[in-house]
Structure 1
Amino acid sequence: MIINSAILSDAPVIHDLMIKAFTEYKNDIPPSSALEETVQSVSDSFEKEEKALIAYEDNQPVGMVRFQLKDEGLYFYRLSVIPEKQGKGIAKMILKSLEDYANEIGVPTILCKVRMMVVKNIQLYSSIGYHVYDEEIVHKSNGINIKVISMKKEL
């Protein structure tokens, strides 16, 4: 497994991995907003200080995570592993690389938000040292409310 920092020209790869991973949430109410993203929206985010890591197995992209540096720490989102590779520890390896990156640049905290109903992600993050520090209800424009928890890990 090789995990590399992404560059702007990787936007199509990042988008493809994200869509493949988030398709399982297409029937959620509401579906994940990740499914509305385009290669262009990923590129635009990259131009606004977003960064990403991409995991490769046998030179094939199998997972990625997008992140930004914020005042409170390194905030990650859209952690994605293609369905046929899920459950093999790839997400944990990506998050470990993210921690290594945060340590290298001197950022002591990693944060994320998770839909409360996606228990497997909460369990994944909890299993590697993240804890819940906040809870909120996100009000979508279509009138649907989503319960979201905020998690963080101190390095």
Structure 2
Amino acid sequence: MANSFELDQIDRKILELLQFNSRLSNQEIASQVGSSASSVWRRINALEEAEIITAYGLTVSPEKLGYGELVLLQVSLEQHNDDYLEEFTQLVRSIPEILECYATTGEYDYVMKVLATDMRSYHRFLRNRLMSKAFISKTFSQVVMEKIKFQKVVPTASG
């Protein structure tokens, strides 16, 4: 459905505004895009129905909640049978400190972003929650030293 939706410049501007501040009212958006609040409301509903807008949210500072470490963790499975893949998927989804997980190409099967309060807690997480599982064969961790760019906003310009 989302593939057949044609975005115009007003739709793109609405998406841009909402990505930076999803709490804007339809009237505030309308004044910035040169439209009426009712037209903006209809456009936002259409963007939601086309699954271009998939969620609304906010960004929380991990550091302010006590997470001092961000680790990029690569994981390989022992085998790629359906049981191991399902167990791994369920495990990843059950651990809130795993923020993101992607199946990838290359030497490792998956890469994920993991939060930890400190390196000792990360070591416990790795040893007790992952490496204790028979279906995980190896891991490779990279500790993030500095965040150079963090962007949740998807560019709205076409092309």
Report 1 or 2 for greater relative contact order, CA contacts < 8 Å, sequence distance ≥ 6: 2
Structure with the larger strand share: 1
TM tier, shorter chain?
under 0.3
TM-score where L is the length of structure 2: 0.27
Q: TM-score, normalised by structure 1?
A: 0.27
